[in-house]
Amino acid sequence: MNDHMHQTQSFDTYETAWCPGCGNFSILPCLQKALTQLNLDPHHVLMVAGIGQAAKTPQYISANGFCGLHGRALPPAIAAKIANEKLTVIVETGEGDSYGEGGNHFIHNIRRNVDITHFVHDNQIYGLTKGQASPTSEIGHVTGVQTNGNINQPLNPVFLALAAGAGFVARAFSGDQKQLVQIMMDAIQYPGYALVDILQPCISFNKVNTFASYKDRVQPLTDSHDPTDFSQAVQAATQTGEQIPTGIFYRVEKPTFHTRHPVLADHSPLIEQTCDPSRIKDLIQSFV
Partner 1 sequence: MTVNVLIGGAAGQGIDTAAAILEKILKQAGYHVFTVRDFMSRIRGGHNFIQIRFGSEPVHSHTHNLDLILALNEETISLHQAELSDNGLIVCDSTTHADDSRLLPLPLNEISKKLGNPRVAGSVAIGTLMALFGLSPELANPVLPSFLNEKYISINQKAVAEGYKLAQQRWSVPSGSCQDWMILSGNKALALGALAAGLKFYAAYPMSPSTGIMEYLAEQSTHCGIVVEQAEDEIAAINMAIGASFAGVRSMTGTSGGGFSLMVEALGLAGITETPLVVVDVQRPGPATGLPTRTEQSDLKFVVSASQGEFPRLVIAMRHHQDLFYQTIRAFNLAERYQIPVILLSDQYLADASATVLPFSLDNLTIETPVQPPEDISDYKRYQITESGVSPRVIPGDPRFLTTADSDEHDEWGRITESAEVRNQMVDKRMRKLDGLKRELEEPELIGDESCDILLVGWGSMYGPLQEAVATLNQEGQHHPGCVSALVFSDIFPLPTKRLTHIAGQARLIVNVEQNATGQIAGLIREYTGLACGRSLLKYDGRQMTGEEIVAGIRKIREVAYE
Q: Which residues bind partner 1 (CB under 8 A)?
A: 4-8, 17, 41-44, 46, 48, 51, 56, 58-59, 62-69, 72, 74-84, 86-87, 104-105, 107-108, 261-264, 267, 270-271, 273-275, 277, 279-285, 287-288
Please state, in angstroms and rounded to a whole number, the distance separating the CA atoms of residues 243 and 241.
Answer: 6
CA distances 251 to 194, 258, 262, Å, are 9, 19, 25
Computed on alpha carbons and rounded to an integer, the radius of gyration of the chain in Å comes to 20
Instruction: Decide whether 72 or 121 has the Cβ nearer to partner 1.
Output: 72
Residue 79 — φ and ψ, nearest 5°? Answer: -70, -35
222, 227, 230, 231: CA torsion to nearest 10: -10
Shortest distance in whole angstroms from residue 265 CB to partner 1: 11
Shortest distance in whole angstroms from residue 286 CB to partner 1: 8
Beta bridge partners of 119: 92, 196
Instruction: Decide whether 46 or 218 has the Cβ nearer to partner 1.
Output: 46
Shortest distance in whole angstroms from residue 181 CB to partner 1: 23
Shortest distance in whole angstroms from residue 111 CB to partner 1: 9
According to DSSP, residue 179 is labeled: H
Instruction: Decide whether 34 or 80 has the Cβ nearer to partner 1.
Output: 80
Instruction: Decide whether 63 or 120 has the Cβ nearer to partner 1.
Output: 63
Shortest distance in whole angstroms from residue 156 CB to partner 1: 21
Give 181's contacts (C-beta < 8 A, 6+ positions apart).
30, 33, 34, 37
Residue 173 — φ and ψ, nearest 5°? Answer: -135, 135
Instruction: Decide whether 66 or 211 has the Cβ nearer to partner 1.
Output: 66
Shortest distance in whole angstroms from residue 78 CB to partner 1: 7
According to DSSP, residue 80 is labeled: H
Instruction: Decide whether 89 or 125 has the Cβ nearer to partner 1.
Output: 89
Nearest to 26 by CA among 146, 173, 135, 159: 173
Q: Are 206 and 123 contacting, i.e. CB atoms less than 8 angstroms apart?
A: yes
